[in-house]
Amino acid sequence: ESQTQQQQQQQQHQEKGEEEKESRVEELNLSRSKDEMPTSGDENPRGTSGLGKEGGPVESGKGGSVEGAPTEGGAAEEGGNGEEIEYGDETLEGKFEDEIDVKDDALIKFTEHKGPVHCVCVNSDVSLALSGDQEDMALLWDVKTGKVVRELKGHKDTVVDASWNNDESAYATASMDGTIRVYKPNGKVKVLKGPETEIYWFRWHRKGPVIIAGCGDGTMWMWHAMTGKCMQVFAGHSDVVSCGSFSQNGRLAVSGSYDKKAIVWSPKSGEQLHKLEAIGLRGYHTAPLTCITVHHSKPIMVTGAEDGSAWICSLSREASKPLKELKEHKQSVEAAEFSKILDWVFTASADGTIIVSDISTGEVRSKIELQGAVTRALWHPKAPAIYTSGTDALVQLWDARNGTLVRELRGHSDTILALAVSNDGAWVLSAGDDGTCAVFDIKSGAGKLTKTSNESVKDDAGSPTGEKKEQDGKQKNDK
């Protein structure tokens, strides 16, 4: 009887052990079905074996393979098998978020900045770039290798602007700390001081070592960049001088302000020559000015404002006045520029549109629409095309004749704040809120669209105009 009882106890123990083992296996399988995601190569994805949409059986040959990317709400887009498979939000966020392959068209990614990069420029032979960030630092770096050439320390606030002078014998950086630092050919630094408030921008004179800069106290200053001597202080605005420039021949200077006015100055005497403002029936901006661009050869300029208005104005010592209003935008005009090959000007707005207009008539030639707000825009130097950047983190190249998208360049994960283009239009540099700068080589085919309505969109210089004969013919027709 004792032996029989022992055998019964052993049998009960074995049966209990088998039950516990089976229970653990079921728990493990359940855990795996929750944690492991199916892949497009699985014939029977884990957790969906034998089940199709809405919990029904999978049809023969469809096996539950997943080709469409999940969409909001947990549903996958229609894949190659015509089926739609749903996944919960928890699975989507937990498994796919870190596995997304973000396309990057940048030839070089410069990552040495420690915060958002507010300005970038490139020299004429595309060997060096200059950029400044929100952490008070400017860097000179090699475009081809992405290596730092020189750390430009000394500023005590955000570096908002940077550029070379006309002959590239010197370069300078401007900061919200109220100073401009000029770096000479001998390596020495000259600090331009004077304003007791922020500097928002600066411009080099086209023929000499002279700089003007707009300040937060309503003044515009002018220095001799090599000696640091203050040459003029232009006082006439009642608010921030947000934009400005020298005229095409360098004999005039113009400033635009949040006080809704533009003033034309004599750099030599400091005299105020003309004030452009809305008085009575004479139309002009009724909102703070945001940008001014001066034509490279004609005595005209375009001014833009926060309310979306833009004006083509004459710019001369004898008469500077508003000529034509451009009324197409609904939000702030962030940039404007004249084409160097056609009598066109574009205005770019935070409403996501770019309007290309005829200088003589003001007639709209084309309209470009972006997915987000436009932050920067520049003409291609040798073609009727426009480079843009925006809050969508994309650099895009558009055919200005018809508004067609030609290239789309990815390399940032946040808003792009600055843009620079080489003299031949084949290299593009961008800087953004993500703390990086990107270098794009258009000649390599970066960002080229697989489908476009414009089939003649490539040549060795990155021009979107195709054959030279075709380009010449179209330019004649446009004129």
Q: What is the pLDDT of residues 104-146, one digit of tens each?
A: 999 999 999 999 999 999 999 999 999 999 999 999 999 999 9
Examine the pLDDT at 412 and tell me if it is beyond 50: yes
Q: What is the pLDDT of residue 327?
A: 87
Give the pTM. Answer: 0.74
C-beta separation of 140 from 132 below 8 A:
no
Look up residue 366 and give its two tokens: 């084309």
| Closest alpha carbon to 247 in 205, 213, 285 | 205
Q: What is the pLDDT of residue 102?
A: 56
33 versus 254: the higher-pLDDT residue is: 254
Mean pLDDT of 306-321: 92
Q: Which of 192-201, 343-352, 439-448 shows the lowest mean pLDDT across its residues?
A: 439-448
pLDDT tens for 437-465 read: 999 999 888 888 755 434 444 433 344 44
Q: What is the pLDDT of residue 59?
A: 38
Reported residue count of the chain is: 479
User: What's the whole-number average pLDDT of the chain?
Assistant: 81
Q: What is the pLDDT of residue 63?
A: 38
Q: What is the pLDDT of residue 103?
A: 77
Q: What is the pLDDT of residue 187?
A: 83
Count CB neighbours of 13 within 10 A: 10
Examine the pLDDT at 163 and tell me if it is beyond 50: yes
- Provide the 3-class DSSP secondary structure of residue 336: strand
For 368, phi then psi, to 5°, come to: -115, 135
CA distance 73 to 86: 9
Look up residue 353 and give its two tokens: 């549109």
CA distance 299 to 280: 26
Examine the pLDDT at 178 and tell me if it is beyond 80: yes
| Closest alpha carbon to 245 in 195, 215, 201 | 201
Examine the pLDDT at 75 and tell me if it is beyond 90: no
